[in-house]
Amino acid sequence: MKNIIKKYTNGEITVVWQPHLCVHATTCFNELPKVFIPYERPWINMSGATTDEIINTVDRCPTDALTFFWNKENMEDQKVDEKETEISILKNGPIILKGFFKIKDIDGKYIECKKSVAICRCGLTKNTPYCDGAHKNDFKIDK
């Protein structure tokens, strides 16, 4: 899958969508259906809710397929929220790693992670080591 990056803005913030990171957890459109509308194009309607509501929903994206940044000229004002690393296992889904860490790939190269990433645990992904949602088709992990 190509690493497509799409951006949507309401003037205050810009929401960044990276579909290659999405595992279709449905958090976005279940929590804020007036903004995240998967059957429409564009599928993100930035005028459908307040900036705070959008930020709260985007922050709950388990894989950082959705992120945001403030539209400020001085980007130094934006602080990075460094938290402890947290590991979560989603039922019938990936392992979610949140925090600041590095992943060493099979070739010995390091991938720096600054917020969160979904790691495949079913083996069906075509984007190793990341989950690409392939488990949704017909595979159940049940653990």
Query: What's the confidence (pLDDT) of residue 26?
Result: 87
What six digits make up the tokens of 102?
């590095």
59-116 tens-digit pLDDT:
888 888 899 999 985 454 455 455 678 888 888 888 888 888 788 878 888 777 767 7
**Domain with 34 in it: what CATH number?**
3.30.70.20
pLDDT of residue 139: 47
| CA torsion through residues 81, 86, 92, 93, sign | positive
Domain assignment of residue 57, yes or no: yes
- In angstroms, the Cα distances linking 79 to 3, 71, 74 are 26, 13, 11
Q: What pLDDT, in 10s, does the model give residues 14-62?
A: 999 988 888 888 889 999 999 999 999 999 999 999 999 999 999 888 8
In the prediction, which pLDDT does 62 show?
83
Tell me: do 57 and 16 sit in the same domain. yes
What are the distances in angstroms from CA 135 to CA 3, 74, 109, 116, 120?
A: 20, 41, 26, 19, 9
Enclosing domain of residue 121 = 86-133
